[in-house]
Structure 1
Amino acid sequence: MVPIIKANVGRTNWPLMAAKAVAAAAAALACGIAAAQADAPKYGGTLEVGSVYPTISALSWDLADWNWKQNYDTGQVYEQLFAADLSKSRRNGGKYAFQADAWLPPDAIRGELAESWKWIDPLTLEVKLRKNVRFPAKPGVMEERELTSEDVLFSYGRMNASAKKIPSYYDYLTKVEAPDKYTVIFRFKEFNAEWDYRFGWGYYSGIMPKEVATAGAANWKNVTGTGPFTLNQFTQGNSTTYVKNAQYWDTDKIGGKDYKLPFVDKMVLRTVKDEATRNTMLRTGKLDVLELVRWTAVDELKKSAPQLKWSKWLSYTGQYLALRVDTKPFNDIRVRRALNMAVNKQEIVKQYYGGNAELFAYPQHPDYGGYFEPLSTMPDSVKELFTYNPEKAKKLLAEAGYPKGFKFKVQVCACNQDHMEMLPLIGAYLEQVGVKIEIQPMEYGAYLSAMTTKTNAPGYMMANGHTNPTTTLRKSFVAGQVWNASQWNDPAFTARVDQAFQIRDEGKRQEAIRAMTRDIVAQAPYIWLPTPYVFTAWWPWVKNYDGELRAGAVRSGPIYARAWIDQEMKKKLGF
């Protein structure tokens, strides 16, 4: 960039100034070219990543199992119709961090397998697929071939026919058609504001070839897709290894030049249950990226490994203790509100989290623009739930018929160290108003099964992804939904959720969502808990990366396809 020169016109030697300006511009241009050449991506190497879900291995490789984590594990292999437009990331001069678990703003979505899409009429969407996108050959599973509209039709149909499907997920569609090799038509019964999320870039939107289903989709050895990597090895509780898909179709523009993706030869996702071990692996360079670092470890890591780069972000996983409203005493709103007032949430933020948390960030996240409403503007019925008031809590319990309190069981995942440490503290607060809890730690599989089968205990300590502004209300507070741990069942509220999905005008939809959020928070089906800040750390030799985590619903494949390793820098830093 040529520097701007401010001059005193009456005393300026114009020829000399002009010469100097030209020389300065040439020098700046030379530096720019040198920097561009220095930053030109290099191919090769292995990218070692510590998982944002460090204690949980792949839950299933079969997309039709509808497990929430499938995009994280298969999203390097299976692509979707849409993905995040990473050219709008902050590192590229945009405004998006791409850290939300399942929220892509409307202006930050690009076609992935979809080359283009348009509304033919208000209830008919036409999607045109990219041509010459290839499935690589997989011995014993399939021959190499081109992706076609039949693959999209098959994937949608298989998901829709699954017994594990989320209730009502596709009810707004009447039919999906494949009129030709590269065209898919989605016919709507009614408009749904989440259409692009639900079948385009969401948790359950992966496009899988029929051959994988025939061979056995649950077997990781059969997994193959059109993505930047192929699945090479899976070791339960340890690692998932992906290698470069040499036939991958996409490119990335860097310095005005298109580069074929991916850059690295191999990517390894590490599952490391012990927190201290994870941090040591990062500090010693055995991990290039650690997607999740708790605030308690940050200062020490910054001292012992000062070259690390950091991203601080407010977690997109809400925390709460769900109270089953279909059981006594939690069918009484006075009891639920009392338990909220009995917990000193401000003290948890200041003392337990050292200030590294926000008191009110669930079910809506502050990043959700017009959908989020701060606590300061909430009605008193909401503010009261976040104000420590044990005396009023005792009064409400007495009014509800529990002057001496009661005891209830709380299930918690043993894999969540934060919750294992926080729950006894919550128990201590509750005991001050006569309420005692019995803590039941569970392994993740049994813990998740308790909720999905609706056999969870009256208390259920939970970390639940915000997902997006509309889904967070549907999945958590609509009867029959998988993640409704409180078993909330209010037909009038369900009707309001359904109506919100049908509002095309985003401003009006935001207004409806804010009103519903105020109402459901005041009903206190949960003990609302603070949302912590968390950190992502990476070594500076990881280039073309700035802490991005998700290019769709918990899907990192397009992000790591664009990262490359500066091997020379890595050696200079002693690794």
Structure 2
Amino acid sequence: MTRGARRPGRARRWGVYGAMGLSLACAVAMPALANDAPKPGGALEVATLNRGLNVLTWDPADWNWKINHDAGQFYEQLFAADLGKSKRLGGPYPFYADAWLPSDAIRGELAESWAWKQDPLRLEIKLRPGVMFPEKPGVMAARELTSEDVVFSYNRLDKSPKKIPTYFDHIASVTAPDRHTVVFTFKNYNAEWDYRFGWGYYSSIYPKEVADAGPADWKKLNGTGPFMLTDFVQGSATTYNRNPNYWGKDTIGGQEVKLPLIDKLVYRNIKDEATAVTALRTGKVDILESMRWSDMEQLKKSTPQLQWSKWLSMNGQFLSMRVDAKPFNDVRVRRALNMAVNKQEIVQSYYNGHAELFSYPQHPDYVGYYEPLEAMPASVKELFVYDPAKAKKLLAEAGYPNGFSFKVQVCSCTPDHMELLPLVGAYLEQVGVRIEIQPMEYGAFLSAMTSKTLAPGYFMNNGHTNPTTTLRKSFVTGQTWNPSMYADPEFDRRIDVLYREQDEDKRKVMVKELTREILDKAPYIWLPTPYVYTAWWPWVKNYGGELRAGAVRPGPIYARIWIDQEDKKKRGF
């Protein structure tokens, strides 16, 4: 199996710009599962990780984090995860990270090969020939994907008024010198180049015809992917049918097969946790991608034939404090509130041990970037030790001997947070700090943050994303996902230096230093990270709990699943 040229800075022996000029084809096939020949057909019903959230937008230019989850079945990208390196197949990676693909786990999707060139620094991508957009009546005739589609998708995204600040500042131009070649010319190197325009949250490739027809209308959407969007009922279900002209193939069970293997994929919107568990237990859904430990323990007893995977959530959770106004502009107050919350007790009593005390903003999966709590300086360690006496002392020193009160916004879409926040509030009350809880529907909750009109307290999950983005998006001045309104010019400068560094070993050191600093400054009440459980029926084949093949994008995973109809029938479903 061959793979694409390595990213600059990933291997020091390859010099300043890595594999400049080297171009290797990227194979698509995954290793076979012995004695498990697939049988195409049938429907796959999934209660996804985001089953409680409706589609937020169908338009990539809206810069919404969830679009790859909903549209990634028909919108493809330049790169995707090499699922052949999954743990299920003997590889090192579980593929459940929200937006983290290690450098040796990336394959070309629409890109057939790529090569780095110098003077100027640029990346030349050769597109896979023969990839087709299917016919979409009233929108477009069937035609081949070309480099102009990549240029159009990038430029429309870059010019969007909803663009994340600085996201593409490192790109000078994107051009199409011929029908199957795309050239990204750089102003300066950026360590996230492949994530930002290749397989990340905002990397969809789609035709101009869709944009002209109306990219917010699901009935007019069309892409090159393994599925086609055929029905959408807000708050109920999203249905994707097999694209009969999909270009992709794979080797599974010792034989080459045409993808996708299933005829239909259905997302079930099920907000209520008990209803989702019942749907799985009764066979109404084949996969339940996310459940809490309490449901897991009950379901293992009632339905022992289910298959399972356990994973540490890729969403850090915290209570953000706005540092741009009193009282949270005083670091003593922020540190005091951290010490006032008994985080060890939350792990043991609230989560029954199904959580980790410390795993944010860096995730333990980020090998080489993550440092455990025991390796942190004493000033960071004490933020995770329950010490209400010291908390009161710090509050008094900051001028709040009798405490204070503040409003905290929380999303009603997250049952765990609706239960956990009152517990956090009870701890804070013991040191004289009272909170007013304001539940909000997801749309209003998200808007409060993106419009910078959020309350002094904001209780949320935030994806770890990857080792560098987790620092940039949450703590760089003016960034969209910066609920604490953290702003430090020196921190911003060091983040910029980090992104320009091409040696990954040096970047790892820099990330550790920046992570220690932001932990110490405590713009959040840092909270434990829970374990999450995925369950599926044994008739779901060629699956081991993988959740994402790029930034929140499961489409390539579903395309490789097949349903053992005989096994399903034997089990009475």
TM-score when scaled to structure 1?
0.93
Question: Which of 33, 38, 41 is the aligned partner of 1:41?
Answer: 38
**Deviation digits for residues 305-357 of structure 1, max 9, x if unmatched?**
11100000000000000000011100000000000000000000000000000
Structure 2: state its 5+ residue gaps.
1-31
In the alignment, what sits opposite 1:114? 111
**Identity rate of aligned residues, in percent?**
69
Question: Which of 450, 453, 464 is the aligned partner of 2:451?
Answer: 453
**Deviation digits for residues 259-310 of structure 1, max 9, x if unmatched?**
1000000000111011100000000010100000111101111111111000
**Deviation digits for residues 344-391 of structure 1, max 9, x if unmatched?**
000000000000000110000000001100000100110010000000
In the alignment, what sits opposite 1:79? 76
**Deviation digits for residues 49-84 of structure 1, max 9, x if unmatched?**
001012101100000000000000000010000000
1:91 offset after TM fit, Å?
1.5
In the alignment, what sits opposite 2:63? 66
Taking the aligned partners of 1:547 and 1:341, their CA distance within structure 2 comes to: 36
Pairs within 5 Å for 1:62-461: 62-121=59-118, 123-461=121-459
**Deviation digits for residues 390-416 of structure 1, max 9, x if unmatched?**
000000000000000000000000010
Equivalent residues of 2:98, 2:551 under 8 A apart: yes
Larger Rg: 1
Select the structure that is richer in helix.
1
In the alignment, what sits opposite 2:516? 518
- 2:392 partner SS: helix
Q: Structure 1 residue runs of 4+, over 6 Å off?
A: none
Please give the root-mean-square deviation of Cα atoms over the aligned residues, in Å. 1.0
Taking the aligned partners of 2:40 and 2:509, their CA distance within structure 1 comes to: 48
Taking the aligned partners of 1:54 and 1:143, their CA distance within structure 2 comes to: 33
Question: Which of 479, 497, 513 is the aligned partner of 2:495?
Answer: 497
Equivalent residues of 2:33, 2:89 under 8 A apart: no
1:256 offset after TM fit, Å?
3.3
- 2:435 partner SS: strand
Taking the aligned partners of 2:306 and 2:136, their CA distance within structure 1 comes to: 39
1:36 offset after TM fit, Å?
7.5
CA distance 1:288–1:312, shift in 2 (3 Å) = same
Q: Which amino acid aligns with 2:425?
A: G
CA distance 1:37–1:365, shift in 2 (3 Å) = closer
Taking the aligned partners of 1:325 and 1:503, their CA distance within structure 2 comes to: 29
TM-score when scaled to structure 2?
0.94
- 1:340 partner SS: helix
Taking the aligned partners of 1:54 and 1:394, their CA distance within structure 2 comes to: 41
Q: How many correspondences in the alignment?
A: 541
Moved more, 76-85 or 35-44: 35-44
- 1:369 partner SS: coil
In the alignment, what sits opposite 1:563? 561
Equivalent residues of 2:238, 2:267 under 8 A apart: yes
Taking the aligned partners of 1:90 and 1:250, their CA distance within structure 2 comes to: 22
1:258 offset after TM fit, Å?
1.3
Taking the aligned partners of 1:36 and 1:183, their CA distance within structure 2 comes to: 35
Question: Which of 551, 554, 572 is the aligned partner of 1:553?
Answer: 551
- 1:226 partner SS: coil
Structure 1: state its 5+ residue gaps.
1-34
Q: Which amino acid aligns with 2:85?
A: K
1:255 offset after TM fit, Å?
3.3
CA distance 1:286–1:475, shift in 2 (3 Å) = same
- 1:462 partner SS: strand
- 2:310 partner SS: strand
1:38 offset after TM fit, Å?
5.6
